[in-house]
Structure 1
Amino acid sequence: MEPGELLEVLGNKYNPEILQRTYEPKSAQELSEELDIPIATSYRRVEELVEMGLLEEEGKEFSEEGRQRTVYRRSVDGFSMKFKQGEVVLEVTERTEAKNKLVDVWSDLKRPETTEDRV
């Protein structure tokens, strides 16, 4: 990933907010609702972030309406850019698998129990 490409992608409206919200898996529909953006824009931004390797498909889940949807999680925890001897150096901190599992456990603990869980 080139520094200029990263800056361009992060400069697109909603992309930083989408990356911020996807510390745990979210669908494009959830992001659309949470960020109050049109669904088509949400899908375009998610696709752009996936193509850049900043977001990755986490899996499938069912919505409250019973429809299957893809959920995404950010694949990075941070970026830094430095200027060294006339060059721009990009450092990307990738999200670790251990961190993903910790967030999943925490999310499961926070999720309210439903009658289906008790059966």
Structure 2
Amino acid sequence: MTPARDGPGVGEDPTLETVVELLDDDHVRAVLTATSGEPMSARELSDRLDISQATVYRRLDRLTDAGLLAERTRPRADGHHDTVYVASLDELTIRLRDEQLEFELDRRGEDIADRLTRLWEEF
């Protein structure tokens, strides 16, 4: 699979408010959970989660924009391809220190070929 689009640019993270707002949505959590095991297309997500494709696509857009989900291309045997999504969020840590909320996002590793392809596409 090759990457097609990822979220925020290299080194950019969403705000804590964005992450908390996203995770407050049942459908977002279901999409993240489902795509943490295997890449899935919007149709596969819709079928597995029993939610409309329109709802799935809205959540996919929000998650990819925040960099919590990555879009990939999966080739098919017939020569065509499917767009699939995979959770890029690995761990979220929220700490309260010195009267401030701090958070850290850890993303799943990206292999060097995927990273080079994504960087090339950004040119």
Q: TM-score, normalised by structure 1?
A: 0.72
**Partner residue in 1 for 2:117:** none
Kindly provide the CA deviation profile for residues 26-79 of structure 1, in whole angstroms up to 9, marking residues without a partner as x. Answer: 01111111110011101111111001100011213449xx97431011111110
Question: Runs (4+) of structure 1 moved beyond 4 Å?
Answer: none
Partner of 2:45: 31
Which secondary structure state, in structure 2, belongs to the residue aligned with residue 22 of structure 1?
A: helix
The question of 1:78 aligning with 2:83 is answered: no
Counterpart residue number, 1:92: 105
Unaligned regions of 5+ residues in structure 2, if any? 1-13, 112-123
Q: Is the 8 A contact 2:60 2:69 kept in 1?
A: yes
Q: Is the 8 A contact 1:61 1:71 kept in 2?
A: no
Which range moves more in the overlay, 52-61 or 29-38? 52-61
Which stretch of structure 1 is more off in the superposition, 54-63 or 1-10? Answer: 54-63
CA distance in 2, matches of 1:21, 1:78: 15
Cα 1:67/1:44, change in 2 over 3 Å: farther
Q: Structure 2: how far apart are the matches of 1:80 and 1:95?
A: 14
- The structure that has the greater radius of gyration is 1
Query: Which structure has the higher relative contact order (CA within 8 Å, separation 6+)?
Result: 2
Match of 1:59 among 73, 79, 91: 73
- Residue in structure 2 matched with residue 6 of structure 1 by the alignment: 19
| Structure-1 residue corresponding to 2:31 | 18
Q: How many residues are aligned here? A: 97
Whole-Å Cα distance in 2 between the matches of residues 61 and 21 of structure 1?
20
Judge conservation of contact 1:81–1:89 (CA < 8 Å) in 2: yes
Name the CA distance, whole Å, in 2 between partners of 1:13 and 1:67: 32
What's the TM-score once normalised by structure 2's chain length? Answer: 0.70
